[in-house]
Structure 1
Amino acid sequence: MSQANSMLAESLLAVEAQAQTLKDAGALSQAFYHWVLEEDLPRDQITQVAEELCNEIAGGGRSIHAVSALGFLLAIDSVLGTSCRNSFSQGVDWLTGRNGGSQTSMASLMQPLAHTGVLVGLLTVADSERWQRFGSWFSSLVANLQPCENAGWRQELLAMIKVRSGLTLAEVPKVSLSTVGATIYVARGLAESITASADISAQVLGRIKSVVYSEPEQAALDLAAFRFLAQGALQIDLRAPSLDDVGLILRRLPAGLRRWTWDEQKKTPNSTAQKWAVENEYHFQNLLCAVLAPVFSDLRDEEWLASVGQKKPRADLVIPSLHLVIEVKYWREKSSPQELISQIGEDVSLYLKLGSPYRKVLPVIWDQGRRTEQYDLLIAGLSEIRDVISPVLVAQPAFMVLSHDVKQGD
């Protein structure tokens, strides 16, 4: 690692440490931290905090902070029960019934970070009536807002809330990546990017390198923006996707599962509640086909390869133009990493035998047990197998609690 990269790594660690202080603060700070940085929050902790917030909203001590925190939690875990959604709706009704008649009440209401939580919560529950009411209420607040110099990240969030709340639920704003606020909205799927500015990348990088943050909220925002912008430097050319692009797409798969269908109740009068469980290797392979086929036109599944003696190997997925085999694995909760490595090692030797048209194998693994603490060592081990590239692990989402263990093999 070069000296410059080493210094940047140290700066990032320092900024991460500042952002992580939010985890020890109140419920709103904790929920915001996990939402903006897309960091997992244990399901039991989400449930406990959500229950406390629901009780607070139902009581006389309700606050904009409680409503906002519950909104962030709903966005993090969209399958929180009906009672949480009802409490959030109750909190929104209370909040939008208040007005900023005095400067004191205006100051208590004009909190862009808290408004962001309310906004993402409303987007999650898709309540069009309350969404419209929130937009009108917020617009009236902004109209009476006194200009504030050097508002920084708060002003950026305020501007983005104004843009998003001025549209319908179904509309998605198109924004330029010219501020951290806009970058966060694009990163979290609240807006689409039309242009990127080199200035914002330089600004964020400059602040991170100087490690000068008086508020942990800005540290978290800059860290999230940096991660998104750095990742965006690896743009996929859809006209000529490369070997690296396969790994890039698959590593983003966990983020795409945030809106995976897992209904606790039916969404429309004429539908039924659906839970799209991924229970075996075949389910996972179908998901991967849906993700990869639009990008890689020659993707093939269940490809029989040349025999090795009496053995007739079959590859899960192949992309002939890239000479790539994608090895799909469903890592069951009771299976060890040693077993997984052995299986993949054996399969690689069969796929890439002498004369094979394939040169590389990319393992992509669905982890039923969510053993994230094992990932670094497992990826390092798989990467030591000759011609294995970019192993990808996808932890089963926290909301995907299966009603039974699948007994049969894959």
Structure 2
Amino acid sequence: MINSEFDIALERLRSLVADNNLYGRLLAQWLGISEDIPHLPEDESATIWTYQEVAAIAIKCALNEKVARSFSDGLSHLMRRRYFIPHAMPGFEADPMAILSVAIGMVSLEHDKNKYNWLLDIINKTLLDESEPIRKSILLFARFLLNHESDIPLIIKAAIGKRYEQTLSKSERESVFKECLTTKKITPEQAIFYLAALEYLISTSANISLESTNKNGLAKMLRSVESALKRWPWESTAKTKKSSKQQWDVQNEYHVQSLLWSLLRPVFPDLQDEEYLKSIGYKHPRVDLAIPSLRVIIEVKYLRDSTQSGLSGLNAEIAEDACLYIENKSNTQFDSLIVFVWDHTASVQHHSTLEDGMRNINAVFDAIVISRPGNWRESDA
């Protein structure tokens, strides 16, 4: 089943990330959680720099944009300014995100030690009066980039996991995951690191735990079949000189069963196919696929007719199967059904309604409908 709490948290974080200022959104792109690179003005030969502009150019520089000279000019401007002036409105020195952005830009160009020390001095002075945890975390991260001697908070360690190949223990991963799903109010700046951390955890975790796979894990595997077909052979021309053009078409229910068998058999050693259940009078029920250890039957359907009558007929078939397989008194081996439908018509507009309808049938644990890939044109065969 879909983990609604997890999905809601992801959507919330993505929305908050989009609310960041220019260099905040650029930082998100640098961390690998956004492909939307904000636009900078065409004229990058500014003579009067704001620190925000320098911060944005710094991240652009780290993203391999051709702005190294502009960043060097902007950095020189920042270094000529005075900071921590009593009774004056603070600027760059009070903006951890801008400080981090400049640190990232400096590291990307391997600036000399004097420039590193200039920024380290600002970071250390700012840290003395900073009490807000997330702002301190960002400053500690900036210091880590410059001297690699500072410890960084766990959430930051996870956020930069992909870029700096950080490794988290099981307990650390659990702690980060719990923190990322927090319902407390967080800022757009925090959301950048929370989302990066969460995506790192997702990317470095197996989709399922093979040691504790349950029906939810099984349903998740079946739902992933659609994206897994990306590498399924459907060639317009032969890939090599010594091979012929291959198009592994899925033409019927038996082909779908074979596809699922190849996916599930390595994970579920007790997977059974074409299994006969106890007879009910003159009826001899035979299930497509079954996993006794999970007490679940996988019923495979091949949808060729997406008209109203075809869709309602499919629902009726599933209701009959559920009654025949699960609800009859002679069945003691299985307690639920997962329906897997291959939609040959690719009528995606009906999938949600079709799945919801099947899930409302007693004994149906979950229903998954996937489409025949759009690039499988029958005219190519």
TM-score if structure 2 supplies the norm length? 0.53
Partner of 2:318: 344
Instruction: Note the alpha carbon deviations across 1:327-373, whole angstroms, 9 max, x for none.
Output: 01122353543222111111222223221233221111223344444
Partner of 1:290: 262
Instruction: Note the alpha carbon deviations across 1:147-206, whole angstroms, 9 max, x for none.
Output: 798997xx99xx9xxxxxxxxxxxxxxxxx9523546999xxxx9998663353255335
Q: Tell me the amino acid that sits aligned with residue 295 of structure 1.
A: V
Partner of 1:179: 158
Q: 1:212 aligns with which of 157, 163, 187?
A: 187
Partners of 1:246 and 1:8 in 2: CA distance? 18
Tell me how large the CA RMSD over aligned residues is. 5.2
Partners of 2:217 and 2:163 in 1: CA distance? 23
Tell whether the 8 Å contact from 1:254 to 1:395 is kept in structure 2 after alignment. Answer: yes
From the superposition, tell whether residues 272 and 10 of structure 1 become closer, same or farther in structure 2 (CA, over 3 Å). Answer: closer
Instruction: Note the alpha carbon deviations across 1:288-341, whole angstroms, 9 max, x for none.
Output: 001111111121111233333443332111123333211011223535432221
SS across alignment from 2:338? strand
Tell whether the 8 Å contact from 2:299 to 2:337 is kept in structure 1 after alignment. Answer: yes
From the superposition, tell whether residues 333 and 179 of structure 1 become closer, same or farther in structure 2 (CA, over 3 Å). Answer: farther
From the superposition, tell whether residues 193 and 338 of structure 1 become closer, same or farther in structure 2 (CA, over 3 Å). Answer: farther
**1:247 Cα deviation after fit:** 2.0
Q: Tell me the amino acid that sits aligned with residue 274 of structure 1.
A: Q
From the superposition, tell whether residues 8 and 192 of structure 1 become closer, same or farther in structure 2 (CA, over 3 Å). Answer: closer
- Mapping of 1:245-324 within 5 angstroms? 245-324=217-296
What percent identity do the matched residue pairs reach? 26
Partner of 2:61: none
Instruction: Note the alpha carbon deviations across 1:258-292, whole angstroms, 9 max, x for none.
Output: 33333344444433343333232222111100111
Partners of 1:389 and 1:343 in 2: CA distance? 16
Q: Tell me the amino acid that sits aligned with residue 261 of structure 1.
A: P
Q: Tell me the amino acid that sits aligned with residue 275 of structure 1.
A: Q
From the superposition, tell whether residues 300 and 223 of structure 1 become closer, same or farther in structure 2 (CA, over 3 Å). Answer: same
Tell whether the 8 Å contact from 1:330 to 1:365 is kept in structure 2 after alignment. Answer: yes
Partners of 2:329 and 2:337 in 1: CA distance? 15
Tell whether the 8 Å contact from 1:329 to 1:363 is kept in structure 2 after alignment. Answer: yes
Alignment of 1:391 with 2:370, yes or no, is: no
Partners of 1:297 and 1:180 in 2: CA distance? 37
Partners of 2:191 and 2:234 in 1: CA distance? 33
Partner of 2:356: 380
Tell whether the 8 Å contact from 1:302 to 1:314 is kept in structure 2 after alignment. Answer: yes
Task: Please tell me whether Structure 1 or Structure 2 has the larger radius of gyration of its CA atoms.
Answer: 2
Partner of 1:236: 209
The range that moved more, 216-225 or 327-336, is: 216-225
The range that moved more, 303-312 or 348-357, is: 303-312
SS across alignment from 1:389? strand
Partner of 1:60: none
SS across alignment from 1:391? strand
Partners of 1:237 and 1:310 in 2: CA distance? 39
Tell whether the 8 Å contact from 1:316 to 1:327 is kept in structure 2 after alignment. Answer: yes
Tell whether the 8 Å contact from 2:180 to 2:195 is kept in structure 1 after alignment. Answer: no
SS across alignment from 2:257? helix
Alignment of 1:362 with 2:335, yes or no, is: no
Partners of 1:363 and 1:342 in 2: CA distance? 13
Partners of 1:224 and 1:183 in 2: CA distance? 9
SS across alignment from 2:288? strand
Partner of 1:68: none
**Structure 1: gaps spanning 5 or more residues:** 23-28, 38-95, 108-140, 160-176
**Structure 2: gaps spanning 5 or more residues:** 21-25, 35-63, 75-106, 124-134, 146-155
Alignment of 1:198 with 2:174, yes or no, is: yes
From the superposition, tell whether residues 192 and 289 of structure 1 become closer, same or farther in structure 2 (CA, over 3 Å). Answer: farther
Partners of 1:269 and 1:36 in 2: CA distance? 40
TM-score if structure 1 supplies the norm length? 0.50
